[in-house]
């Protein structure tokens, strides 16, 4: 590497003799006479102050998925090969085929990204190739951006392989920077992805640091200037001709660029590159577009070779489920329906549909239901691809924890029980009941999805158990009996309705108890007399005529029992 003095001389000697006075915005100012402050010095102090303010306000985390070309092509199938097959992803660059990613077996044999295909074949003649799928890579990157919304609402895409997260406002939520990074690493590992990460007050600086190696942390303006200065200029991603020109001038690291006069740098390297340096240092705004997540989660995963084993298929679906739950967490939503399609080479797709009894985004719950469904599925052929599509998103309310008692954690949640029963017995085998606004008891309910709220008037006293067919009760001395004498508790409640549909009823309902303590819901078909009191019954007994009994006493029925 050339000495910094030589690099500076390239700009300040003969090369810049015709430039006239130059502004040295990158160069540290020399001593200023007491009582006098130059305008250039004042401008630089203002610039440094605004940069420091910007660095205190924002903190950006860059995630670089450097193996994305392989990971987008279902990398787990390649990396988990037990037979030692070497795979490589190739792309056309400048009219020649180049390796852009490879699995561990290929890497162990000396194949690296950027190697010409001819050189790779020389090392491994039996090397298996897969063409790069850039469209699929971008779909995966977008899904990762949606997944990253679980950490912060501000997420930005940076194609072709990076995602930016503004995390300053999330530090307190996750318990500090190190706790957030630890959580992030665990979650990315669970997705089966490889990544580098870096943190800086500006998004451009975070991206540049991330291209060098993983773990750079520049939390303030001072650290930012130091960390950026150590980076090779290749980390900027500038065009090859620009990098060649810088190398020809003896400039190899960003600190060499930061020592140069601004005007000379702008003329020979370009104003755009100067602006990028300003954005990286926080001396100029660096706005980023916030990624907008779609209204539903839709993902497709293709396998490199057909799968016929349930465990391997489920492993691929599990990673999509992790993406889905992160997506739902970022949207603060849940789902009640999920559809999975399994595609075959020469047969129609197999469809698996999940229906949840309540709004859900719990990964383990969804995985358990999906696994049960897959176990019941008979595959006509091996699976070559899968898709996962969520239903409508619903707001998911949180629940408060109990400070002193964790009994709530041990309760059996009925939605999970319903889902497990449906997964084993079928959706139609497990259903719920719902009240409807109807006076006739036979028609005052309907089958519904479990948990469906009722819009009927609930103030009326109704038994929990209603007979499908009312049972006729015996009469003794004109009064109904059911395992003993009945005592009236409440009634009558007259129900007379349904004349318009041919199923009209005219009944008087009573609540009564028998000698065994059972509380019954009974009715009689409309009669000329109400249920008599004891005195009225005694008077009626004196004037009782058996010949008229069958004419004046109407049928009584048991319709239900109270718990």
Average pLDDT for 240-260: 92
Q: Following CA atoms 433, 436, 439, 444 in sequence, which dihedral angle do they give, to the nearest 10 degrees?
A: -20
Average pLDDT for 251-275: 92
Q: Would you place residue 44 in the very low, low, confident or very high pLDDT band (cuts 50, 70, 90)?
A: very low
The highest-confidence range among 5-14, 36-45, 413-422, by mean pLDDT, is 413-422
Average pLDDT for 109-124: 92
Task: Judge contact between 365 and 416, C-beta under 8 A.
Answer: yes
d(CA 507, CA 88): 81
Nearest to 343 by CA among 309, 369, 370, 306: 306
Could you tell me which residue, 424 or 322, shows the higher pLDDT? 322
d(CA 121, CA 104): 16
Tokens 């190697």 -> residue: 115
Predicted confidence (pLDDT) at residue 45 exceeds the cutoff of 50 = no
The highest-confidence range among 106-115, 424-433, 499-508, by mean pLDDT, is 106-115
What CATH number does domain 83-132 carry, 3.40.1170.60, 1.10.150.120, 3.20.20.450, 3.20.20.480? 3.40.1170.60
Predicted confidence (pLDDT) at residue 528 exceeds the cutoff of 80 = no
In this prediction, residue 551 carries a pLDDT of 46
What residues have CB less than 8 Å from 397, skipping those under 6 apart? Answer: none
Q: Would you place residue 499 in the very low, low, confident or very high pLDDT band (cuts 50, 70, 90)?
A: confident
In this prediction, residue 512 carries a pLDDT of 94
CATH top class, domain 298-399:
alpha beta
Predicted confidence (pLDDT) at residue 531 exceeds the cutoff of 70 = no
Predicted confidence (pLDDT) at residue 23 exceeds the cutoff of 50 = no
How high does pLDDT run on average in the chain? 81
Predicted confidence (pLDDT) at residue 12 exceeds the cutoff of 60 = no
Average pLDDT for 135-141: 93
Q: How many CA atoms lie within 13 A of 102 on its CB side?
A: 27
Predicted confidence (pLDDT) at residue 8 exceeds the cutoff of 80 = no
**Tens digits of residue pLDDT in 438-497:** 888 888 888 887 777 776 666 678 888 888 889 999 988 888 889 888 989 988 899 888
This prediction has a pTM of 0.68
Residue 292's CB: how many other CB atoms inside 10 A?
A: 10
Q: How many CA atoms lie within 13 A of 38 on its CB side?
A: 10
- H-helix or E-strand spanning residue 102: strand 96-102
Predicted confidence (pLDDT) at residue 545 exceeds the cutoff of 90 = no
In three-state secondary structure terms, 135 is: helix
In this prediction, residue 74 carries a pLDDT of 67
Task: Judge contact between 323 and 296, C-beta under 8 A.
Answer: no
**Tens digits of residue pLDDT in 338-371:** 999 999 999 999 999 998 878 889 999 899 989 9
Predicted confidence (pLDDT) at residue 157 exceeds the cutoff of 70 = yes
277 backbone dihedrals φ, ψ, rounded to 5° = -60, -40
Q: Would you place residue 404 in the very low, low, confident or very high pLDDT band (cuts 50, 70, 90)?
A: low
d(CA 221, CA 356): 50
In this prediction, residue 403 carries a pLDDT of 52
What residues have CB less than 8 Å from 138, skipping those under 6 apart? Answer: 159, 160
In this prediction, residue 72 carries a pLDDT of 87
Q: Would you place residue 1 in the very low, low, confident or very high pLDDT band (cuts 50, 70, 90)?
A: very low
Could you tell me which residue, 13 or 212, shows the higher pLDDT? 212
**Tens digits of residue pLDDT in 186-239:** 999 999 899 999 999 999 999 999 999 889 999 888 899 999 999 999 999 999
Indicate the domain borders of the chain. Answer: 4-27+44-64+137-281, 83-132, 298-399, 461-561
In this prediction, residue 529 carries a pLDDT of 45
In this prediction, residue 398 carries a pLDDT of 58
Predicted confidence (pLDDT) at residue 316 exceeds the cutoff of 80 = yes
């Amino acid at each position: 590497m050339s000495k910094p003095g030589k690099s500076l001389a390239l700009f300040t000697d003969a090369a810049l003799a015709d430039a006239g006075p130059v502004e040295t915005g990158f160069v540290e100012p020399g001593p200023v006479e007491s009582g006098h402050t130059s305008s250039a010095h004042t401008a630089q102090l203002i610039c440094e102050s605004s940069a420091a303010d910007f660095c205190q306000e924002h903190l950006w985390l860059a995630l670089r998925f450097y193996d994305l070309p392989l990971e987008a092509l279902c990398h787990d199938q390649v990396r988990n090969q037990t037979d030692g097959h070497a795979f490589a992803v190739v792309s056309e660059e400048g009219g020649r085929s180049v390796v852009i990613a490879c699995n561990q077996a290929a890497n162990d044999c000396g194949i690296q990204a950027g190697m010409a295909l001819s050189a790779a074949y020389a090392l491994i003649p039996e090397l298996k190739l897969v063409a790069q799928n850039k469209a699929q890579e971008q779909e995966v990157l977008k899904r990762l951006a949606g997944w990253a919304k679980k950490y912060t609402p501000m997420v930005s895409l940076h194609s072709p392989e990076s995602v930016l997260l503004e995390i300053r406002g999330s530090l307190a939520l996750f318990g500090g920077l190190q706790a957030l990074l630890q959580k992030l690493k665990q979650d990315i590992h669970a997705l089966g992805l490889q990544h580098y990460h870096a943190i800086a007050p500006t998004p451009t600086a975070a991206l540049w640091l991330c291209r060098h190696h993983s773990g750079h942390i520049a939390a303030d303006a001072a650290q930012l200037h130091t960390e950026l200065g150590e980076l090779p200029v290749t980390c900027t991603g500038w065009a090859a001709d620009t990098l060649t020109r810088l190398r020809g001038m003896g400039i190899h690291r960003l600190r060499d660029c930061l020592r140069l006069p601004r005007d000379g740098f702008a003329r020979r390297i370009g104003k755009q590159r100067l602006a990028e340096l300003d954005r990286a240092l926080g001396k100029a705004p660096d706005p980023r577009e916030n990624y907008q997540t779609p209204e539903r989660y839709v993902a497709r995963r293709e396998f490199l070779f057909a799968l016929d084993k349930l465990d391997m298929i489920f492993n691929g679906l599990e990673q999509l489920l992790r993406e889905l739950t992160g997506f739902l967490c970022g949207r603060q939503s849940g789902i009640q329906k999920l559809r999975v399609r399994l595609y075959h080479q020469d047969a129609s797709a197999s469809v698996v549909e999940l229906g949840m009894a309540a709004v859900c985004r719990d990964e383990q719950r969804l995985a358990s239901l999906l696994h049960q469904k897959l176990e019941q599925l008979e595959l006509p052929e091996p699976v070559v691809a899968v898709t996962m599509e969520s239903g409508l998103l619903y707001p998911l309310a949180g629940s408060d924890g109990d400070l002193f008692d964790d009994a709530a954690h041990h309760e059996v949640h009925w939605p999970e029980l319903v889902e497990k029963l449906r997964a084993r017995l079928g959706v139609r085998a497990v259903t719920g009941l719902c009240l409807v606004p109807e006076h006739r008891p036979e028609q005052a309910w309907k089958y519904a999805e479990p948990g469906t709220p009722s819009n009927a008037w609930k103030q009326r006293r109704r038994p929990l158990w209603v007979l499908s067919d009312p049972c006729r009760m015996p009469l003794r001395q004109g009064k109904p009996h059911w395992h003993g004498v009945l005592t009236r508790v409440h009634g009558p409640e007259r129900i007379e309705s349904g004349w318009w549909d041919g199923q009209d009823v005219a009944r008087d309902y009573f609540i009564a108890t028998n000698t065994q303590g059972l509380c019954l819901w009974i009715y009689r078909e409309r009669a000329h007399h109400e249920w008599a009191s004891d005195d009225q019954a005694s008077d009626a007994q004196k004037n009782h005529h058996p010949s008229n009994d069958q004419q004046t006493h109407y049928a009584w029925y048991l319709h239900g029992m109270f718990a």
